[in-house]
Amino acid sequence: MVQKLGKHGDLDGVQYLLQQMKLEGVNCSEELFIDLISYYKDMGLAEQALKMFYRIRDLDCKPTVKIYNHLLDALLAENRFKMINPLYSNMKKDGVEPNVFTYNVLLKALCKNGHVDGARKLLKEMSNKGCAPDDVSYTTIVSSLCKGGKVQEAKEIAESFGAVVPVYNALISGYCRDCNFVEAFALLNEMAEKSVDANEITYTIVINALCDAGMVELSMAILGKMFFRGCEPNIYTFSSLIKGFVSRGRLNEGCDVWNRMVRVGVMPNTVAYNTLIHGLCSNSSMAEAVALLHEMEKRHRIPNVTTYSTLIDGFAKSKDLIGASEIWNRMIRSGCQPNVVAYTCMVDALCRVEMFDQAQDLIECMMQEKCTPNTLTFDTFITGLCHGGRVDWALKVFTSMGRYGCLPDTTTFNELLDGLFKSNCLEEAFGLFREMEKLEIKWNLTTCNTTIHGLCQLGRFKEALVVVGRMLRKGNKPDKITFNTLINAYCQHGDINRAIQLMDVMKAGEWRPDLVSYTCLVCGYCKWNDTDNATVLLQRVMDEGFAPNIASWEDLVRTLFSKYDIFYQESINKLDMVAGLSHRSSVH
């Protein structure tokens, strides 16, 4: 009866039966008490299980090491670290000797709580008490050290005992996290030399890290090695490879991996479908992405909120509100509850077609559906308003963010600054700067470039240079956009020599002048009618392997024609003057 009620989550009924057992003098066995702890653990009620444990003697049940272990494990599952140590102390008071499972739970608790040094001391305590650490004990310590960036220290511990596959996996994962593939491959070779067979987890860790680092060809070589050693790749292996290809725009190769996965009998799961759908959406292949959604449903792989959000985002970026709306409605009909990401993608879809009233209504709807908008939601709305020329509305949204418990971030300010400068609202822009400083919002490179560009466009060049000074003092290194903006501004103000000096600074540093840099100079020379230098520079651009764009040619041709017009007009005036003198001479 207790087991049936417990499995159905009727813990009140369980408590009633326990009381009946006590009244009727029926003993509670160790196995039944362990079952009770499991029921509480499954429902996330470890604290209630602990309270029940302190009544164990009332139920004529003696605490055993197995009961303590299950209770410690239940507390660990909910990260109830403060309760674990007192329970362990209680265990020692009861004279119950901990076993290797007890120590492993305590090791995991210490490591999860960031006390790796304490875990290492406990490892020594185990040995001193005659309880030899097992593979789980060492793997727990090694994994925790690797996650904390202490891979070399973890390796030294691993060398002190016969390392097993899970320990090797933890070390390889640590090196891959640091992109230290030389050491990761050395460990793979060491495993082969010691006849320790790498498993699919080992290879998948390496393949995933290589794909994240953009080395997809090398990851395919690892896949080949995996097949050669008779280790079958799993869904996570293939998903990593697909993600590696599609995230770099190599969609065809990603699809080839997908087809290979299906051929070898590995059926795609929801994560794999989402990965390929994301790649198709990023490539604007929306018809193919929707077809994959249909295939997913036919294969009984249930789309989740990530699937729908990815598709809505893809349609939003294509400015296809109808497509985004159809996916949104499909999501609602399927019973999938939209989260803040899905709502934000739909807000973006509405903003991109300037349906701002509907976007604001959707944000209000989020609140009614108990889905609180976050800063990204407001950043998306503000960006849409600014791009649509509704900076006044964007400022109102900015001031209302606090009502929703959201704080603006650097992106919020960057979008507003861009909108204000484009609308020539200098006072509001400088007020926003002061607000940034008040809220201690850090400038990033986009903040600086947006401000410098905005001031230069408005002819406030000296103020732009002040911002450059502040930018350098705040530790923000300029990039190509910064340099090109300033080069263009110098050229527009007739100080082309200063622009050339700035280009030399670019060459001396880590940046190299690009086509935009040269185009600004060519246009600058043309603006001030210096066609000789403009022509020389244009030739230099071509010599350096750049193809001048149409703006450079148009400016040069326009300037030459302008000079020709001036020369032509001067010649006509001179001819008129000569003709007039000749006429007067003939009369005399």
Give 368-417 pLDDT, tens digit per residue. 888 989 999 999 999 999 999 999 999 999 989 888 888 889 999 889 98
* Cβ atoms 53, 67 nearer than 8 A: yes
pLDDT in tens, 134-151: 888 888 888 888 888 888
Is the Cα dihedral 63, 67, 73, 74 positive or negative? negative
Once rounded to an integer, what is the mean pLDDT over residues 548-572? 56
Once rounded to an integer, what is the mean pLDDT over residues 248-253? 89
Token reading at 35 = 């079952």
Q: Say which CATH topology domain 268-373 has.
A: 1.25.40
pLDDT at 558: 63
pLDDT in tens, 329-342: 999 999 999 999 99
* Cβ atoms 394, 417 nearer than 8 A: no
CA distance 236 to 269: 9
pLDDT at 236: 93
pLDDT at 556: 56
pLDDT at 237: 93
pLDDT at 445: 82
pLDDT at 586: 42
The set of residues, in sequence order, having a beta carbon less than 8 Å from that of 477 and lying 6+ positions away, is 445
| pLDDT confidence bin for 194, thresholds 50/70/90 | confident
pLDDT in tens, 49-99: 888 787 777 777 788 888 888 888 888 888 888 888 888 888 888 888 888
Token reading at 108 = 């995991």
Is residue 82 classed exposed, middle or buried when 0-12, 13-18 and 19+ CB atoms within 10 A define those classes? exposed
Q: Which of these, 309, 237, 302, 300, lies nearest to 278 by C-alpha position?
A: 309
Q: What are phi and psi of 137, to 5 degrees?
A: -60, -50
The set of residues, in sequence order, having a beta carbon less than 8 Å from that of 47 and lying 6+ positions away, is 78, 80, 83
The set of residues, in sequence order, having a beta carbon less than 8 Å from that of 540 and lying 6+ positions away, is 518
Q: What are phi and psi of 308, to 5 degrees?
A: -65, -40
pLDDT in tens, 96-149: 888 898 888 888 888 888 888 888 888 788 878 888 888 888 888 888 888 888
CA distance 157 to 318: 53
pLDDT in tens, 11-44: 788 788 878 887 887 877 888 878 888 888 888 8
Asked if pLDDT for residue 299 goes beyond 80, the answer is yes
Is residue 421 classed exposed, middle or buried when 0-12, 13-18 and 19+ CB atoms within 10 A define those classes? buried
Domain boundaries, the chain: 1-97, 268-373
Quote the pTM value: 0.72
pLDDT at 2: 82
pLDDT in tens, 430-468: 888 788 878 888 878 888 888 888 877 777 777 877 877
* Cβ atoms 463, 456 nearer than 8 A: no
Asked if pLDDT for residue 502 goes beyond 50, the answer is yes
For residues 514-528, one letter each, b for 16 or more C-beta atoms within 10 angstroms of the residue's C-beta and e for the rest, the string is eebbbbbbbbbbbbe
* Cβ atoms 83, 47 nearer than 8 A: yes
pLDDT at 276: 93
Asked if pLDDT for residue 588 goes beyond 80, the answer is no
Cα–Cα distance list, 315 to 74, 319, 324, 335, 347 (Å): 45, 6, 5, 21, 12
**DSSP codes joined into one string, 409-430:** -HHHHHHHHHHHHHTT-HHHHH
The set of residues, in sequence order, having a beta carbon less than 8 Å from that of 328 and lying 6+ positions away, is 308, 312, 338, 342, 346
CA distance 50 to 36: 11
CA distance 28 to 577: 125
Crossing angle for the helix pair 30-42 and 11-24, nearest 10 degrees? Answer: 160
Q: What percent of the chain lies above the pLDDT cut of 70?
A: 91
CA distance 513 to 525: 17
Token reading at 285 = 């292949």
DSSP 249: T
User: Mean of the per-residue pLDDT values for the chain?
Assistant: 83
| pLDDT confidence bin for 552, thresholds 50/70/90 | low
* Cβ atoms 284, 318 nearer than 8 A: yes
* Cβ atoms 460, 424 nearer than 8 A: no
Cα–Cα distance list, 437 to 305, 374, 400, 423, 574 (Å): 38, 22, 19, 22, 64
Query: How many other C-beta atoms are found inside a 10 Å radius of the C-beta of residue 477?
Result: 12
* Cβ atoms 182, 163 nearer than 8 A: no
- Secondary-structure breakdown of the chain: helix, strand, coil percentages, each rounded to the nearest 5: 75, 0, 25
Asked if pLDDT for residue 574 goes beyond 80, the answer is no
Is the Cα dihedral 456, 461, 466, 468 positive or negative? positive
pLDDT at 42: 84
pLDDT at 554: 66
CA distance 349 to 352: 5
Asked if pLDDT for residue 572 goes beyond 70, the answer is no
Q: What percent of the chain lies above the pLDDT cut of 90?
A: 29
